[in-house]
Amino acid sequence: MDETLKLPATVTFLNADGLEASGDGDKIESFRIIANSGSRMSFWHGDVVIDMNGIRAKKSNIPILYGHNTWDIDAGIGHVTNFGVQNGQLILEGVVSRDTPCAKEFVASCKKGFPWEASVGGKIMKSIAVAEKKSHNVNGRTEEGPLTIATDFEVYETSVVLFGADSNTSALVNSSVETAPFLRNGEKMNEDSIKDEGKALEASLGDVKNEAQEPVVVQASVLTEDTIQAEREKLAAEARRVGEIRNQATSRDDLLVAEAIEKGWDLDTFKLHQELSHLREDRGKAPAIHAGKEDMSSDGKVLEAFAVRYSGLMDESKYEDRTLEAADKIGNIGFQEFCELACGRRLGRYQSDPTSWLQAAFTTQNLNYVLTRSFNAILLAAFTESDSEWRKVYNIGRVKDFKKYERYRINPVNFMLEPLTDGGKYKHGQISDSAYEAQIDTYGKMYAITRKDMVNDDMGVFTQIPRFIGYGASETLNRKCWSLFLNPAADPSDSKAFYHEDHNNLVYSSPLSLENISKVRAAFAKTKKTKGTAVVDGDTPLGIRPEILVCPIELEDTALGYVNATYFNNGSAGYSPADYNPHKGRWQVVSTPFLSESTFTGYSATTWYMMANPRRFAAFEINFLNGKDSPTILRADADFDTDGIQFKGYFDFGLSQQDYRAITKCIAAAKT
């Protein structure tokens, strides 16, 4: 964790008249900075405690700047000459070694009593995270999580600033106020010893003075009375804002006040959040809309069942009888009353402004929960009600992210066991593998319940949105699956078409019939372990038999007849053994209208397919993010130009083709 932090600190001048430098009688101001960094500090990203045993300087003689300005040479003030930790405090001692306008302004304004503050800049190089309800001992104290403990904190600069992170920080000079005593190893130093140490410090500066007298390239940024006054006015305005918010707040608003101060809310914004916060806290204190000891109308499962039944997609087997009975008792209600049931109270005060009414309703956690459950239940019902034959021809997998993956399938060339040699040695079997790429994408769409729908109190719109998303997700998935099935890309192993005679998976002049089913099945069962037409020593059949007949909807009845009939009538009064159907119960028939859909490349009303079980040997695969094989719907905040609330539905999946040996395509027409 490489994160920059600014720590509050105090600045104290040690000598108002300056210390004599060696050689020319110039005065060098010395100072110390004390940072109470061993205690818990709050930043925008959370609380931080710095382990004082792990604090260090990036280098010796780290610079002293104005306002953390590391890019302007004229922002330099001096440098640190002593760095250490004493009694749980970070102490930096240094001198005003620069001859810049900022350095001169800093010294002059301090002597006039200007209350400068300081800030120590450093980075967290290593840290540990303490989770909520966990604790950790650091700096002799037990700190409760959540917080970050910096075990390695590197200080790279220190700055004087107008406003530090702590309002108690200050810069002092002896000529105007009494300063805190300068300590060396915990002992107070007298004035003579301070001067002696100042001379020793100056002796170590070397050519600092000459370096400071070189021409300055960058125009100096000098503080003026106008800039100081402007900062004071900003501070006064901030104090008034905070005071107004505290005066408006009640004893219930402590956390809200903290949030308002942090986020810069004005009084009107705070009042709005305060009203909504009180509404949320009061939820459940008033009697339910339909009072009664056995009333279940506000139960999330009951409201879900009501919404699903209203959509017309009810599967009663998914709900208990008491839940269905309670849903029936709700009666004919609109969308607003549905929301009020979920909230557990009426929101009549907002009826004149539907948008504000809905915003207030959504501040209650229960409404978000009920709507999410109801929407996803309707969406899932619509999705599963749609054509899902793709599940029977695709192997179903899962991935954990959106990166491109390579799937590998082992191709055993010769797994036959052989006798051991006289020395008892084993022969090595030959194994190759095939790689298949897999990657998923996100498919989605946004829908809105408009202000007009809310005013009309239309429950039908509410139930239509997830239903449409469910149907849309199913159509998207079907079109993707059957498009790949009909027109896969060339196989990467030889750059030939996926369905190709050289792959032994393409047959012409083969309309769907008992005779052709038998022929294709026999050829399929003889599929070799090695791809292609080359003859390999020891290459034997895979031993995988086909189990699935795939056909367009036009051939479904014919295929089912071949699969389910026990005998076929040859036109005579009796049945002979020749009429026995060997394919009875042997196949799973998969039929879909997408195979003969004219908008698909490769469509046909007469072509049929024979496949192995994709769980064992797959021609195609579909992967879902984290294995979630159905779409999701979420409520989203409306855009500024959308008057209402929005819902988005999304689906994460990806398709890939795998082994052409797992499928045979049978074309009724002759090859042209």
Evaluate if residue 496 carries a pLDDT over 50. Answer: yes
Select the highest-mean-pLDDT range: 2-11, 59-68, 222-231, 351-360.
Answer: 59-68
Interatomic CA distance for residues 473 and 462, integer angstroms? 18
The confidence score (pLDDT) of residue 175 equals 28
Q: What is the DSSP letter of 317?
A: G
pLDDT tier at 256, thresholds 50, 70, 90: confident
How many residues are present in the chain? Answer: 672
pLDDT tier at 261, thresholds 50, 70, 90: confident
Select the highest-mean-pLDDT range: 158-172, 176-190, 200-214, 640-654.
Answer: 640-654
pLDDT tier at 429, thresholds 50, 70, 90: low
Beta bridge partner(s), residue 507: 666
Cβ(628)–Cβ(440) below 8 Å: no
Beta bridge partner(s), residue 412: 431
Listed range (79-93, 377-391, 411-425, 652-666) with the worst mean pLDDT: 411-425
The confidence score (pLDDT) of residue 646 equals 78
pLDDT tier at 529, thresholds 50, 70, 90: confident
What would the pLDDT profile of 354-388 be if each residue is shown by its tens digit? 556 666 666 655 677 787 788 888 888 888 888 89
Q: What is the DSSP letter of 175?
A: T
The confidence score (pLDDT) of residue 664 equals 96
What would the pLDDT profile of 153-180 be if each residue is shown by its tens digit? 888 888 887 765 444 333 333 322 233 3
Cβ(178)–Cβ(78) below 8 Å: no
DSSP codes joined into one string, 191-211: HHHHHHHHHHHHHTTTTHHHH
Domain ranges of the chain: 3-223, 233-282, 300-377, 501-622+660-666
The confidence score (pLDDT) of residue 358 equals 62
Cβ(62)–Cβ(158) below 8 Å: yes
> What percent of the chain has a predicted confidence (pLDDT) above 90?
19
Interatomic CA distance for residues 607 and 595, integer angstroms? 9
The confidence score (pLDDT) of residue 99 equals 87
The confidence score (pLDDT) of residue 298 equals 55
Interatomic CA distance for residues 258 and 44, integer angstroms? 12
Residue 486 token pair: 């009909």
Query: Rounded mean pLDDT of 583-602?
Result: 94
Interatomic CA distance for residues 32 and 12, integer angstroms? 5
Interatomic CA distance for residues 623 and 481, integer angstroms? 11
The confidence score (pLDDT) of residue 478 equals 94
Question: β-pairing, 41-43 with 30-35?
Answer: unpaired
Q: What is the DSSP letter of 345?
A: S
Q: How far is CA 384 from CA 242, 254, 388, 529, in A?
A: 55, 48, 7, 37
Interatomic CA distance for residues 633 and 640, integer angstroms? 21
Select the highest-mean-pLDDT range: 318-327, 329-338, 474-483, 534-543.
Answer: 474-483
pLDDT tier at 20, thresholds 50, 70, 90: very low
The confidence score (pLDDT) of residue 434 equals 59
Cβ(607)–Cβ(552) below 8 Å: yes
Interatomic CA distance for residues 426 and 424, integer angstroms? 7
**pLDDT: is 419 or 10 the higher one?**
419
Interatomic CA distance for residues 667 and 606, integer angstroms? 7
The confidence score (pLDDT) of residue 503 equals 92
pLDDT tier at 288, thresholds 50, 70, 90: very low
Cis peptide bond prior to 552, omega within 30° of 0: no
Interatomic CA distance for residues 563 and 582, integer angstroms? 9
Evaluate if residue 204 carries a pLDDT over 60. Answer: no
pLDDT tier at 645, thresholds 50, 70, 90: confident
Listed range (199-213, 261-275, 302-316, 577-591) with the worst mean pLDDT: 199-213
Beta bridge partner(s), residue 46: 43
Listed range (192-196, 324-328, 608-612, 629-633) with the worst mean pLDDT: 192-196
59 CB neighbour count, 10 Å cutoff = 11
Helix (H, G, I), strand (E, B) or coil at 508: coil
DSSP codes joined into one string, 163-186: S-SSTT--EE-TTTSPPPPPEETT
Beta bridge partner(s), residue 92: 33, 83
Evaluate if residue 318 carries a pLDDT over 70. Answer: yes
Helix (H, G, I), strand (E, B) or coil at 297: coil
161 CB neighbour count, 10 Å cutoff = 20
Listed range (14-28, 52-66, 115-129) with the worst mean pLDDT: 14-28
Beta bridge partner(s), residue 414: 430
Sequence-distant (6+) residues with CB within 8 A of 59 are: 156
Q: What is the DSSP letter of 140?
A: T
Query: Rounded mean pLDDT of 440-464?
Result: 79
What would the pLDDT profile of 72-89 be if each residue is shown by its tens digit? 777 889 988 888 888 778
**pLDDT: is 101 or 641 the higher one?**
101
Interatomic CA distance for residues 375 and 302, integer angstroms? 13
Sequence-distant (6+) residues with CB within 8 A of 541 are: 525, 526, 527, 528, 529
Please, what is the end-to-end C-alpha distance for the chain in angstroms? Answer: 67
Listed range (287-291, 364-368, 430-434, 482-486) with the worst mean pLDDT: 287-291
Calculate the CA dihedral of residues 56, 60, 66, 70 and round it to 10 degrees. -90
Listed range (410-419, 466-475, 545-554, 561-570) with the worst mean pLDDT: 410-419
The confidence score (pLDDT) of residue 72 equals 73
pTM for the model = 0.51
Interatomic CA distance for residues 358 and 644, integer angstroms? 9
Q: What is the mean pLDDT of the chain?
A: 76
Residue 87 token pair: 């009694």
Q: Give the CA count within 13 Å in the CB-facing half-sphere of 85.
A: 15
The confidence score (pLDDT) of residue 287 equals 40
pLDDT tier at 600, thresholds 50, 70, 90: very high
- Ramachandran bin of 463, using left for φ above 0, alpha for ψ from -120 to 50, beta for the remaining angles: alpha
Q: How far is CA 246 from CA 167, 349, 511, in A?
A: 19, 26, 84
Interatomic CA distance for residues 120 and 159, integer angstroms? 6
Interatomic CA distance for residues 182 and 92, integer angstroms? 11
495 CB neighbour count, 10 Å cutoff = 8
Evaluate if residue 183 carries a pLDDT over 50. Answer: no
pLDDT tier at 33, thresholds 50, 70, 90: confident
**pLDDT: is 402 or 195 the higher one?**
402
- Ramachandran bin of 284, using left for φ above 0, alpha for ψ from -120 to 50, beta for the remaining angles: left
The confidence score (pLDDT) of residue 181 equals 38
The confidence score (pLDDT) of residue 356 equals 63
The confidence score (pLDDT) of residue 34 equals 78
pLDDT tier at 652, thresholds 50, 70, 90: very high
| Three-state helix/strand/coil letters over 527-582 | CECCCCCCCCCCCCECCCCCCEEEEEHHHHHHHHHHHHCCECCCCCCCCCHHHECC
The confidence score (pLDDT) of residue 188 equals 43
Interatomic CA distance for residues 352 and 629, integer angstroms? 42
Residue 487 token pair: 């027109």
Query: Rounded mean pLDDT of 210-218?
Result: 33
The confidence score (pLDDT) of residue 210 equals 40
Beta bridge partner(s), residue 122: 5, 155
Q: What is the DSSP letter of 593?
A: G
Interatomic CA distance for residues 310 and 328, integer angstroms? 10
Evaluate if residue 631 carries a pLDDT over 70. Answer: yes
Classify residue 308 as exposed, middle or buried by CB count within 10 Å of its CB (0-12, 13-18, 19+). Answer: buried
Map tokens 């202000």 to a residue: 451
Main-chain phi, psi angles of 79, to 5 degrees: -150, 160
Helix (H) or strand (E) holding 360: helix 354-361
Evaluate if residue 7 carries a pLDDT over 70. Answer: no
Interatomic CA distance for residues 610 and 507, integer angstroms? 11
The confidence score (pLDDT) of residue 649 equals 86
